[in-house]
Amino acid sequence: MKNDHRQQLIKSFLVAGVMVLATGAVAWAAGGGGGESHDIDWKDFGYRMLNFAILAGFLWWLSAKKVKEFFAGRRSDIKEALDQALAAKEDAEKKYKEYVAKIEKATEEIDGIAEMIKVQGMAEKEKMIEEAKKAAAKIEEDTKARMEQEFSNARNQLRAEAAQLSIQLAEELLKRNITITDHENMVKEYLDKVVIKH
C-alpha cells in the first residue's frame, strides 16, 4: 500500500512536469510577435527546460520533507481515527453485551416474580376456599343449632299450650259433669286424707 501511494505521487509529479513543459513550449512558440517567423530555438528551449527542471527539483527537495510529513501525519491521523473507531466499536459491543445480559437477568427476575405471584395467588386462593368452607360449615352448624333451638322452643310452647288447653278442657268438663254435692264430697275426701296422713 505504501508503494502504491509512492507510485501515484511520482505519476502526479510527472504529469504536472509534462503539462508545465507543454505550456512553456506553447507560450514560447506564441511569444514571437506579429509577422515574424516562428522558428523554435531548440537550444534556448532546452536551457529553459533545464532551468525549470532544476527549479522544480530544488522546490521538490525543499518541500519533499514537508510533503512527506504532511502525508505521514495524515496517515497517522487516519490510523488514530481508525483505532478510535475500532475502540468505540469494541466499547459499543461490550455495552451491548452488558445490556443484553441485564435484559436477560431482568426477564428472568420478572418471570420469577410472576411465578411467585402465581404461587402466592394459588395459595391465597386455596386459603380463601378453605376459609369459605369453614365459614359455610359454621353457618350450617349455627343454622342447625338455631333450628333445634326453635324446634325445642316450639315443642315447649306447644306443650305449654296443650297443657293449658287440657286444664281448660278439664275445668269445663268438671264444671259440666260435677255437681255441688260431688264437689263437697271431693273436698271432704281430700281433707280426710290429709288429716289421716298427719
- Give the DSSP letter string of 24-46: HHHHHHHTT-SSS-----HHHHH
Cβ atoms within 10 A of the Cβ of 41, count? Answer: 10
Closest C-alpha to 29, from 52, 45, 47: 45
**Rounded Cα–Cα distance for residues 160 and 181 (Å):** 32
pLDDT of residue 52: 82
pLDDT tens over the chain, length 198 residues: 556 666 666 766 676 666 666 666 666 665 554 445 556 788 888 888 888 888 877 877 777 777 777 777 677 778 888 889 888 999 999 999 999 999 999 899 998 888 888 888 888 888 888 898 898 889 889 888 888 888 888 888 888 888 888 888 877 777 777 777 777 787 788 787 777 765
Residues 6+ apart with CB under 8 A from 145: none
pLDDT of residue 33: 46
pLDDT of residue 19: 67
pLDDT of residue 24: 65
Assess contact for 23 and 52: CB atoms under 8 A.
Answer: no
Residues 6+ apart with CB under 8 A from 56: 17, 20
pLDDT of residue 2: 57
pLDDT of residue 18: 66
